[in-house]
Amino acid sequence: MSKPLPIRDGDKIRCDACPVMCFIKPGATGACDRYMNDAGDLVRIDPHVILDRAVDRGEPLVHFLDRVEDWDGDPVKAGSRFVTAIGAGTTYPDYKPAPFIVSSQIDGVDMVTVVTEGIFSYCGVKVKIDTDRHLGPERSPVRAKGEMIGHVTTGEYGSQMLSLGGVNHLTGHGKKQGKVTCDAILDLCNGKPVELTVDDGATVLVQAGKPPVVNGVLEERMRVGCGSATIGMFAQQWFGKVDEVVVIDDHITGVLSEHQAGKVLGVKETGLSMTGRRSTPGRYFEVAEPGTGWGGTAIEDPLSILGLFDPKVAWPGLSMLMISTTGEQHGYYELDADLKPVARDLPAALAESVERVKENCEPALSTVLFMGGAGGSLRAGVTENPVRLTRSVKDALTYVTCGGAPVYVWPGGGITFMVDVTRVPSNAFGYVPTPALVAPIEFTMRLEDYAALGGHLSYLRSLDQVLAGEGGRKLPQLDGNPWPLSPSDSKRSHG
Amino acid sequence: MREPPHIRLLACGRRVHLQDGPIDLILEAWGSPAAVRAAHRAAASRMNGLLDELCEELAILRAPVGALSPVPQGTVARRMWDAVRPYADECFITPMAAVAGAVAEAVLAAMVAAAPLDRAYVNNGGDIALHLARGERFTTGLIDRPDQPSMIGTAIVEAGDRVRGIATSGRHGRSFSLGIADAVTILAGGAADADAAATIVANAIDLPRHPGIVRVPADSLAPDSDLGSRLVTRDVPPLSDGDRDQALRAGLDRAAGLIAAGRIAAASLHLQGVTRTIGALVQTHQETQPVRRMHHA
């Protein structure tokens, strides 16, 4: 669609959508909150919150979806619409039927989707931060605005893990901690950046789907593997081009000449000696304190982890590459006549392998999974016999989604699920002051299964009825999410 | 390109959504089916040209009101000016502080003039003009933060209360605030009066010397803001209980003065999870959410 170019004043745009004619700065919206200067483009934005919350307590069905925008084109799968729970509202604490119970036909089967927003007192987020940098000891408190909102939990591959929120931080340690916890996990779920500090550790800026910023430094890459694995992967490429390679890593530092991969190729011994504790040949633990230097250690000068070269084995001119597991730091050295390493320019033949290490590092991201448990009253909004809903979910007759996004339902009791917040439409999460998070949740099942579990059949409305008069905000299906009404059609990576 | 006003009946079949530029109204009327239809038509036709008329005098409406300032001519513009005039000698204020309420009143007036109605409301983004025939009442829900909506209380207005306007102001809404309140809701005789008073009380809830509060010139955010280079609140850190209470007290004092002067009927002030009310008619939910009922999801 071609539009006339808007009038500009520097980086400001003059909006001509109405006679107010706002000048709008980049990143800002006009007086109407409908038009935005998006990096120089005047774009219409979708207001994402429902302001009109006058609840008529007398009606069993509550319409909260009044703020509708025209959507140019309809990227929603033709003939198929799924009503998400975002903005559906919730009837807590009155155990009324859920705000929307929608039926639609799919593949000839009458499907029922029960759409509600759950109030989750039992909820939190699991945060995976792709970095080898030491964020703080495991079990250390993680704080937002000075309040403890969670802790560092056990590390995973190439990542540091945080466990934040949960019922105890939300409701068990006073109002202030509860509010700060609620705000922080709400912002994380809605894709906003949150600054977290770890006791005896780092300050990290976390935003779902974005690279983490550790102590003010943007983390760009995830390591290719531990130091030992890196030796294994690249030994062939280094062999013959350099005499020794040390891959510095906080967990396992690898040494080519001693490592099995080097031995197999016939790499000569170099007489190198290392600090740290030798695990198996060519693999060293604890070469330095953890930190934010080379490979997640505190090392700024890589030579600091080397002892003297054994004069009986080493020779002047011996060449050595030292590199971190992300390739971001590297140095090339040659031994002088006294067998002391001297820094030299990286030979072109090795530059290629350094680039290869970098290339094989995936972009580092912070990822956020919302985890919540759907308990009694929320289930009662779906059916008159709540436990049957749980059984139905476990029996895979009922498919659970969160804002249309696939979830992983934890085995065992209750309906405790996890969802990648980046797969949920923007600003889908809200809060209540108790404090607790409000998250959309939809239960989709066959109509006959819904009847069998004691569903509120008298409150069923057809999809056409819900869509009539555009009573909602239409969104395109997010890329990669399976279609909730026929999830088995799509490749499912979750649940 | 000038977009025409949007006018449509919502899915519920009862409420009408009217939108033109920054004016965004939800309205509803009760009465005989014919009267309701006539009221809807009157509202839609009143919207036609309303924004254009206001924009013709936008320069006057964005200027501070004082003894020597020009008086606007348009009906709605004049209502805005009248609503803020009582404050002009006390502090900085422009007629824009009452724009939402004045627009709601104008559309409601057109509806009521067109047909006999039992009840009607026009809600302009939280600033609400009410019509109540004898014996009727309205229950209105209050939310503290439109970006994270949650109901914090209700206001019940009955025909005998003489309250016909409810307005909410705070730093999370569409306009900027000089104060730090999350929300101030005012009940007053008219929506324009409530709108102006909500701005005044929200501005009064403040901690002028608190170092953690982030303030920036209004025109650095919106180049043509009526607040010019005055500092508006962008961020408020978590406050100590003492600081929060001190700020709320300042707002309550201001609201008490307005009640004593007969300018408003009641106020509900909300800051960082705490709600204080003054005057009749407003009930907060804080006490009605006992802790034992929390584990529900």
Over residues B28-52, the pLDDT tens digits come to: 999 999 999 999 999 989 998 899 9
The ranges assigned to domains in chain B are 14-293
Residue A281 tokens, joined:
């040949």
- Over residues A144-158, the pLDDT tens digits come to 999 999 999 999 988
Please tell me the predicted confidence (pLDDT) of residue A88: 46
At residue B106, the 3 state secondary structure works out as helix
Residue with more model confidence, A470 or B7: B7
CA distance B273 to chain A (A): 7
Mean pLDDT within B271-281: 82
Please tell me the predicted confidence (pLDDT) of residue A377: 66
What is the C-alpha separation between A304 and A288, in angstroms, rounded?
A: 9
What is the C-alpha separation between A73 and A65, in angstroms, rounded?
A: 20
Please tell me the predicted confidence (pLDDT) of residue A464: 61
Q: Does B68 touch chain A (CB under 8 A)?
A: no
Element (H, E) at B168: strand B165-169
Residue to test with chain B: of A7, A12, A46, A52, most B Cβ within 10 A: A52
Top mean-pLDDT range of A3-17, B136-150, B260-274? B260-274
- Over residues A261-291, the pLDDT tens digits come to 999 999 999 999 998 888 889 999 988 888 8
Q: Do A145 and B297 touch (CB under 8 A)?
A: no
Chain B residues in contact with A32 (beta carbon < 8 A)? 21-22, 24, 174
pLDDT band at A38 (very low <50, low <70, confident <90, very high): confident
- For chain A, what percent of residues have pLDDT higher than 90? 37
Q: What is the mean pLDDT of chain B?
A: 85
CA distance A370 to chain B (A): 14
Please tell me the predicted confidence (pLDDT) of residue B291: 26
Nearest residue on chain B to A190, alpha-carbon basis: B148
Q: Among A20, A28, A175, whose Cβ lies nearest the Cβ of B221?
A: A28
In this structure, what are the phi and psi dihedrals at residue A46, rounded to the nearest 5 degrees?
A: -95, 115
Mean pLDDT within A236-247: 94
Q: Do B151 and A55 touch (CB under 8 A)?
A: yes
Q: Does B242 touch chain A (CB under 8 A)?
A: no
Q: Among B52, B223, B297, whose Cβ lies nearest the Cβ of A119?
A: B297
Mean pLDDT lowest among A145-154, A317-326, B286-295: B286-295
Please tell me the predicted confidence (pLDDT) of residue A76: 25
Mean pLDDT within A320-332: 93
Please tell me the predicted confidence (pLDDT) of residue B86: 93
Contact pairs from chain A to chain B, CB under 8 Å: 154
Element (H, E) at B277: strand B274-279
pLDDT band at A64 (very low <50, low <70, confident <90, very high): very low
Please tell me the predicted confidence (pLDDT) of residue B273: 80
Q: Do B295 and A20 touch (CB under 8 A)?
A: no
CA distance B259 to chain A (A): 26
Per-residue pLDDT for A436 more than 80?
yes
Mean pLDDT within A388-395: 77
Per-residue pLDDT for A428 more than 90?
no
CA distance A482 to chain B (A): 25
CA distance A201 to chain B (A): 23
What is the C-alpha separation between B45 and A5, in angstroms, rounded?
A: 32
Mean pLDDT within B57-65: 92
Q: Do A51 and B126 touch (CB under 8 A)?
A: yes
Mean pLDDT within A431-447: 81
Q: Does B260 touch chain A (CB under 8 A)?
A: no
Chain A residues in contact with B240 (beta carbon < 8 A)? none
Q: Do B297 and A24 touch (CB under 8 A)?
A: no
Mean pLDDT lowest among A169-183, A197-211, B220-234, B274-288: B274-288
Q: Does B15 touch chain A (CB under 8 A)?
A: yes
The verdict on pTM exceeding 0.90 is no
Q: Does B37 touch chain A (CB under 8 A)?
A: no
Mean pLDDT within B83-110: 94
Q: Among B55, B125, B140, whose Cβ lies nearest the Cβ of A51?
A: B125
Chain B residues in contact with A23 (beta carbon < 8 A)? 222-224
Q: Among A18, A52, A122, whose Cβ lies nearest the Cβ of B297?
A: A122
Q: What is the mean pLDDT of chain A?
A: 78
Cβ count within 10 A of residue A452: 15
Nearest residue on chain A to B272, alpha-carbon basis: A179
Q: Among A23, A430, A471, whose Cβ lies nearest the Cβ of B223?
A: A23
Q: Look up the ipTM and state it.
A: 0.80
Residue A406 tokens, joined:
């696939």
- Over residues B142-201, the pLDDT tens digits come to 665 555 555 566 777 888 888 999 988 888 766 788 899 988 889 999 999 999 999 999
Residue with more model confidence, B282 or A27: A27
Q: Do A25 and B221 touch (CB under 8 A)?
A: yes
Please tell me the predicted confidence (pLDDT) of residue B10: 75
CATH code of the domain occupying B14-293: 3.10.520.10
